[in-house]
Amino acid sequence: MAAKEGGPDPASNPKLRAAIATAKAENMPKDNVKKAIERAEGKDAADYQEVNYEGKGPHGVLLWVECATDNNTRTFSNVRTIFNKNEGQLLESGALGFMFNRKAVFQFEKGEHNLEEIELELIDAGLEEMEVNEETVYVYGEFESFGSLAKKIEELGIETTKGNLQRIPSTPVEFTEEQIEEIEPLIDKLEDDEDVQAVYTNIA
């Protein structure tokens, strides 16, 4: 999708560069990455679209489901069935728009980096917040700043382990361990569907 949207050359396509970096961090073979880019260039390439579904699960947990599909009817049917069979329900499109903020998110290893200098450099590129969790650094910005942040991170010589757009809950909610155990089957089933790319929740 990134290659079809912005072209097959990573040098001029920040979204594709970030996708390749993420694939590399997940140990995806280089040949698989190359083939995916080549398929995007082909005349018979499937026309994949990004579609989103919003829903509720057990104990009122909110879920935002991002999918990539070449068959909307199949994907909708599968997602709806998973919700119905796991104590959930689909909501109307846009129902949770104010509950999740779309952010550009990058991760890299802390290592020997001077984080204060990096933070100052990234502010002009659209940095909103930088967090450090043990040895991993998280960079957050508005989704419109994805390209500028990706470019600046590269210019600073930082090798990211992940870079993508994510849905961040505006009001995270605490659930008990017992409640989480009852919510997880729905999340697991959604993530197992081949059309589902990511599942975001409002779990704190």
Of the pLDDT bands very low, low, confident and very high (cuts 50, 70, 90), residue 152 is very high
User: Quick one: 3 exposed, middle or buried, by C-beta within 10 A (0-12, 13-18, 19+)?
Assistant: buried
Sketch out the chain's domains with CATH numbers: 2-41 (1.10.10.200), 49-98+170-201 (3.30.70.980), 100-169 (3.30.70.980)
Q: Report whether pLDDT(5) > 70.
A: yes
For the chain, helix (H) and strand (E) counts, in that order, are 7, 8
Amino acid identity of residue 39, one-letter, is: R
The Cα–Cα gap between 135 and 101 comes to: 25
Query: Has residue 29 got a pLDDT over 80?
Result: yes
Place of tokens 């947990």: 61
> How far, in Å, are 76, 80, 96, 141, 199 from residue 190 at the CA level?
12, 10, 18, 27, 7
* Highest mean pLDDT out of 10-14, 60-64, 68-72, 99-103: 60-64
Query: Which residues, other chains included, contact 183 with Cβ-Cβ below 8 Å and sequence gap of 6+?
Result: 57, 58, 59, 61, 175, 201, 203
- Kindly tell me if the per-residue pLDDT of 123 is higher than 90: yes
Tell me which of 22-26, 175-179, 198-202 is least confident: 22-26
| SS3 label, residue 194 | coil
Angle among Cα 74, 94, 192 to the nearest 5 degrees reads 40
Asked if residue 181 lies in contact with residue 59, where contact means CB atoms within 8 angstroms, the answer is no
Radius of gyration of the chain (CA): 18
pLDDT digits (tens, 9 = 90+) for 38-54: 877 775 556 788 899 99
Give the pLDDT confidence score for residue 126 in this predicted structure: 96
Residue 57 has pLDDT above 90, yes or no: yes
Q: How confident is the model at residue 45, as a pLDDT? A: 58
Instruction: Supply the angle between the helices 146-155 and 14-25 in degrees, to the nearest 10.
Output: 70
In which residue are the tokens 């909307």 written?
72
